[in-house]
Chain A
Amino acid sequence: MHHSIDTPEAIWRALDRFLFRVRQPARYVGGEVNSIQKNWDEISSRLVLLFPDTYEIGMSNLGMMILYDIVNEQANMLAERAFLPWVDMEAEMRQRGIPLYSLESFQPLGNFDVIGVTLPYEQLFTNVLSALDLAGFPLRAADRDASWPLVVAGGSAGLNPEPMHAFFDAFFIGEGEEGVLDIMRSYETWRRKFDIRPRVGWHPGGAQLRTTKDILLRSLAHIPGLYVPALYDVRYYADGRVRDIRIKPGYEKDAALPVQKRIMAILPPPLTRYIVPNIKTIHNRPSVEIQRGCTRGCRFCQAGIIFRPVRERPLDEVLRAVDEIIDSTGYEEISFLSLSASDYSRIGELTQAVVAKYADQNISIALPSLRIESFSVQLMETLAQGRRRSGFTFAPEAATDRLRDVINKPISTEALLAVADQVYSRGWTTIKLYFMIGHPTQTMADVEAIADLAHQVWHVGKHYLGHKAKVRLTISTLVPKPHTPFQWVAMADETEIRAQIAYLQHRLGGSAFHLNWNDPRETLMEAFLSRGDRRLSDVIQRAWELGARFDAWEDQFNDVAWQQAFAEHGLDPDWYARRPRDLDELLPWDHIHVGVDKSFLQEQYRLALAGGVVDDCHEHCYSCGILSHYRRERRQAPDDAWGCPALGRGKAHQPVSAHAVPMYFNPEMSPEQANTTRRPQRLSRLQAIGEETP
């Protein structure tokens, strides 16, 4: 695509002619408080952070904002933002030849050095192609020589990079706070050496620019955590399974195998200069990350594995951040971010301190991801402070004690009902419950139990509130994700999923209940995109050509395009989503190491099938691999900053075992081992928060 509109002035002039008639035009013009526009001509190293969905969604992504802040802190670098326009805007831009541009300088993406694409979930894959195309770039990395900006992905969905390998020059694996600067510096060194500056319209072609690009990729591969797919070869067996993944001959000294996730030993200071959007966004509030990682070990949960190790932010740092954020943004609400807020060791002090300081300033505090325990009710009570109490959210994920033991989220139905009692009795009218169907070993009885439990919870509410009591349920289907103990499991059969959802609809039809569920076809897409291999790049591109985009938006999801794309390439989505893998099969993502060993995941998988429940690893280290792979980082951090035991003589603060030792086995799953229960090794934390131990 050739763009005649390729300067900031021309882009703004062109936009101002039609923006009045697109939906929510303010999202296309920037100009927000705390956004940073540096002098374009004076800054040598230029990054644009691209979120491949709308502004409202992308502006809620903390990772992207952290990188924006870090890069703009550097005197010789700038970072700007770009988002994918909604379909009406995209059509206008294409019709007028307006390329995708950044919100700060209105520069076309083709004028930047590096495009950093945030990929938190797989449904954004086709949007990446839309963005590259709208920017005027060739889609395939192999078709972009050194005259094109470098296109790098980062985020959870890049931890199985293979389905998107053809489109990105590199994937950053892990936490990018330092890595982003490494990439920018490495690029700048190369750029100066070869006197190259990507810009719109300058693409002379020729072998020289291809060779120069190869030199760049080679140097980038030396950055820890950076995966450059072009430097690897994958071979397959005739049946489609991966046979081997090797570094290409000649690149052995440059590329790593496996590529190990990069982590920060100590959490960098929290972001406080939040951009304040001029319009409502999805998470319309800033957040302070109080803790990274989770020690719970739920076996379906990818975040619980890939964000290991657990690192806590010191309380005083969190409180200082709250002050700075409110000062610099003026937001009326702030939220504390973590995978499991209840596990933040100073959560009680934190909530009391912020309420004491801000309650009378009309600033409210959101605390997502609370555990199902009475302490959570106390926390919410503190935060509510006489305001309206609407909803209370819990995620039991399964409705029977047995299945919760399988997924290693042990909480008894009895305890859950006791917490529901506390919630409704204090005046909250709605309890929101998250369940998953399709867990391994699930039977129809487990699905029936979801409806039974919902009714039980509602009856608790009815006792206090009559028919004002409500139960909202969100039912999702397990997508067995890479790097989890369930990565070998087949996703549930579609007719089964539909039957189970239909059953729940039937049982939970009354006005007391509100039931949400995911379209099984969309879940299938998430499954094949997250579990795919390199051959899926062709399928993704074809599906995009056939019109698939904004796949995360129910009203845009294009199942027909995906089916046709698979068929044209002779591949089967179910083969990717619903084929159980052998434990010794080489998985397409096995060359990406997230710090947790495959042997640990295998052991957890075996324990799942045996109903073996493993304690929070904050209590007892089961050698998942993090400590052996990040010894240096562990030593850099204070003893109490990580959930993992400190290294060194006389520092064993918690027991360590080479193998996971279950606290108990579920009697239904392993009757022969049902009596071998073992108390958790350290009770102090549990007792401190007043919880009953299992």
Chain B
Amino acid sequence: MSQRKRQRLRVTFSTEGSIKYVGHLDLASVWERALRRAGLPVLYSQGFHPQPKIHFASALPVGVSGRAELMDVWLSPPQQPDDVARRLQPMLPRGLHVRAVFEVPLRAPALQTQVRGAMYRIWVESDATATAFRAQLEALLASAEIFLTRRRKKGVVRYNLRPLIQEVRFLGREEDGYAFFARLQSETGSTGRPDALLQALQLADAPRRIERLCLLGVTLDGCEISVADGAGADVNIPAGECIANQPGH
């Protein structure tokens, strides 16, 4: 392998509209091809099956859009981060947007290990009264344990969702349903999923719109909260806790 200079770039991106239905592994291929179309010199792993060196902070569940998702991509030779953003954007499929690109130290810890939680804005259709819906959310928080089952490759797994719910806040009635914020734990091996929350509310099959507002975790220098564009302004995310990035545009 050549000893050419390498660079690690952190890309913040958002997904909007129908691209939310693309699963995580497929989305990785989408990025890989977009990077190649943009002619960016992505670094590849060695071996029989060379893989592009792209790491995502956290898989976005199918059907959930993300406002400030994160990925690290290694390039060699290094490029101007602004230039990378400019070249990448036109190569992306409908609904995928580059929000920011900046360089991080090559030895910075892996993104995945830095994520601790995620903030979601959830809207779900429901004909319950506001009082009843609110009570349901409160009951969730008040319970000591919420056991759910989840289908895995090795069969059905029973797990407790409650410790994964860090915060739930009712926002109000919207259209034919209710909106609320949820702050869920997101660590390797113990991740609370927003659809599990809906399952716990007996709303597993109800129409919904879920947006992951930002990932929470270890702070990087110069990092600010990404939820700056209005829609999530009423969420109180402790400053410096969001690993997102520089402000969106």
Contacts and interface: CB of A to CB of B under 8 A. Distances in A.
Given A278-B30, A330-B37, A362 B44 contact: yes
Contacts of A32: 93-94
Contacts of B207: 16-18
Interface of B: 17-19, 21-23, 26-27, 29-30, 32-37, 44, 48-50, 52, 62-63, 91-95, 125, 195, 205, 207-209
A330 B34 contact: yes
Nearest to A19: B21
A387 interface: yes
Contacts of A368: none
Contacts of B32: 330, 332
Given A31-B93, A330-B91, A332-B36, A279 B17 contact: no
A25 B21 contact: yes
A387 B48 CA distance: 5
Among A20, A29, A31, A331, the most chain B Cβ lie within 10 Å of the Cβ of A20
B111 to A, nearest CB: 22
A388 B49 contact: yes
A276 interface: yes
Contact of B35 (A18, A31, A330): A330
Contacts of B92: 33
Given A29-B18, A387-B48, A388-B49, A326 B36 contact: yes
Contacts of A26: 18-19, 21-23, 26, 62
A327 interface: yes
A362 B29 CA distance: 14
B33 A329 contact: yes
Contacts of B23: 24, 26, 279
Contacts of B37: 33, 327-330
Interface in A12-28: 16-21, 24-26, 28
A280 B26 CA distance: 7
A26 B91 CA distance: 19
A30 interface: yes
Given A18-B207, A20-B208, A331 B33 contact: yes
B91 A33 contact: yes
A453 to B, nearest CB: 30
A343 to B, nearest CB: 31
Contacts of A28: 21
A489 to B, nearest CB: 45
B93 A278 contact: yes
10 tightest Cβ-Cβ pairs between the two chains A and B: A330-B33, A20-B63, A330-B36, A29-B18, A330-B37, A17-B207, A388-B48, A31-B94, A25-B21, A26-B21
27 contacts: A16-B209, A17-B125, A18-B207, A19-B21, A19-B63, A20-B195, A21-B205, A26-B22, A26-B23, A29-B21, A31-B17, A32-B93, A33-B33, A33-B34, A33-B91, A33-B93, A278-B30, A278-B93, A280-B26, A326-B36, A327-B37, A330-B35, A330-B37, A332-B32, A387-B48, A387-B49, A388-B49
A33 to B, nearest CB: 5
A279 B21 CA distance: 10
Interface string A307-328: 0000000000000000000111
Nearest to B95: A31
